[in-house]
Amino acid sequence: MTGFPAVRARRLRATSAWRRLVSETRLSPAQLVLPLFVREGAVEALPIGSMPGVVQHSLDSLKRELQRATDAGIGGVMLFGVPEHKDATGTGATDPDGILNVATRVAVAEVGDALVVQTDLCLDEFTDHGHCGVLDSRGRVDNDATLERYRDMALAQAAAGSHLLGLSGMMDGQVAVLRDALDAEDRSDVALLAYAAKYASAFYGPFREAVQSSLQGDRRTYQLDPSNRREGAREVELDIAEGADIVMVKPAMSYLDVLADTAAVSPVPVWAYQVSGEYAMVEAAAAQGWIDRERAIDESLTSILRAGADAILTYWAIEAAERANA
């Protein structure tokens, strides 16, 4: 019969069994990393208003969540500390008894053989001005003085047992300095995750509530301009050359082009961070009945994988893993 299409692509979409069989992008629980906030002095989990379902953990609730993560089969956890006290240089970040280092020891003891325990290496949670580094006499972030603090943080986190240090501060030269510092202390076993293309995004707002940020001003002098694609590629190239074991693009949703660029050229694994604002938007819209929550979550994660991510940091890690396992 003439006049009808000879090629009928719809044949392979006809049933759920067909769609499952020919799916090009598949989510594995092992590709997911769960960010966790641990609050100093907390005796129970405390809800975060702008991130429904996400909490600031106590050490006890942290243990329970770590077990849930293990049971779900996800790849790892990224720990963030929420200290009771802050100062200009973020001394709590390098204190062996500071909340992040204590939480790291707890996590490694609980699930260190089952999950990759990762720690955020940045000063913003610990400084009273909220910036990712120390300030000079003119109130500017001092890159090289900050690297000195990062070096001490890296050694403290390694001593606490962290398997992977998440370098999120966007200071020039941070990967090289920390790799040298760790290797000099016979800690070549500790891996480095470079937040290589981290943009000065509007989608970090809920995170700042989660860590009780004291930020004054903004971070545009060290995080990337959202309009710059090539600059993101340059930052990735620099971090790989300095010895990053993994590179990451952050945020994910608005930077899938940068993620795809990175995946096309990187010889090391490429990760993406589905940030707090991405999470909050879906949860808020779903609460109003405007979108199908589960489909939106799964579609967002699939899009990040499709763009080239090997793993994703997401607040839905356990839920998505449990759904993938069902």
Main-chain dihedrals φ then ψ at residue 163, nearest 5 degrees:
-85, -30
**How many other C-beta atoms are found inside a 10 Å radius of the C-beta of residue 15?**
9
Q: Which of 57, 149, 151, 250 is catalytic?
A: 250
Q: Provide DSSP, 277-298.
A: HHHHHHHHHHHTTSS-HHHHHH
pLDDT digits (tens, 9 = 90+) for 103-144: 999 999 999 999 999 999 999 999 999 999 999 999 999 999
Looking at residue 233, its pLDDT comes to: 98
Neighbours of 214 (CB within 10 A): 15
pLDDT, residue 190, reads 98
* Residue 1 scores a pLDDT above 60: no
Q: According to the model, what pLDDT value does residue 77 have?
A: 98
pLDDT of 195 reads 98
In this prediction, residues 301-315 reach a mean pLDDT of: 98
In 3D space, the residue among 239, 301, 288, 234 whose CA is nearest the CA of residue 261 turns out to be 234
- Taking only the tens place, the pLDDT of each residue in 64-102 is 999 999 999 999 999 999 999 999 999 999 999 999 999
Q: What percent of the chain has pLDDT over 70?
A: 99
**Is 198 noted as a catalytic residue in this protein?**
yes
Rounded Cα gap, residues 225 and 127, in angstroms: 23
β-bridge partners, 56:
37, 46
Which pair of tokens denotes residue 288? 């109003």
* pLDDT for 92: 97
Tell me what the mean pLDDT of segment 20-38 comes to. 97
Say whether pLDDT at 2 is over 90: no
Confidence of residue 326 (pLDDT cuts 50, 70, 90): confident
Least confident of 49-63, 169-183, 215-229, 293-307: 215-229
Told to judge if 63 belongs to the known catalytic residues of this protein, a careful annotator would answer no
Predicted local distance difference test score (pLDDT) of residue 248: 98
User: What is the average pLDDT score of the chain?
Assistant: 97
Which burial class, exposed, middle or buried, applies to 225 when counting CB atoms under 10 A from its CB (0-12, 13-18, 19+)?
A: exposed
Point out the least confidently predicted range of 75-89, 184-198, 201-215: 201-215
Distance CA 214, CA 126 (A): 9
The sign of the torsion formed by the CA atoms of 25, 31, 33, 34 equals: positive
Q: Whole-angstrom distance between the N-terminal and C-terminal Cα of the chain?
A: 44
- Mean pLDDT on 307-326: 96
248, β-bridge pairs: 271
The runs of H, that is alpha helices, within the chain are 16-21, 59-72, 99-111, 143-160, 174-184, 205-210, 230-242, 256-265, 276-287, 293-307, 317-325
State the catalytic residue, choosing from 198, 233, 261, 319: 198
Enumerate the β-bridge partners of residue 80: 37
Indicate the CATH number of 28-325 among 3.20.20.70, 3.40.190.10, 2.30.40.10, 3.40.190.100: 3.20.20.70
Residue 281 confidence (pLDDT) above 70 = yes
Whether the predicted pLDDT of 217 surpasses 90 = no
- Whole-number Cα distances in Å, 239 to 24, 230, 271, 306: 30, 15, 14, 23
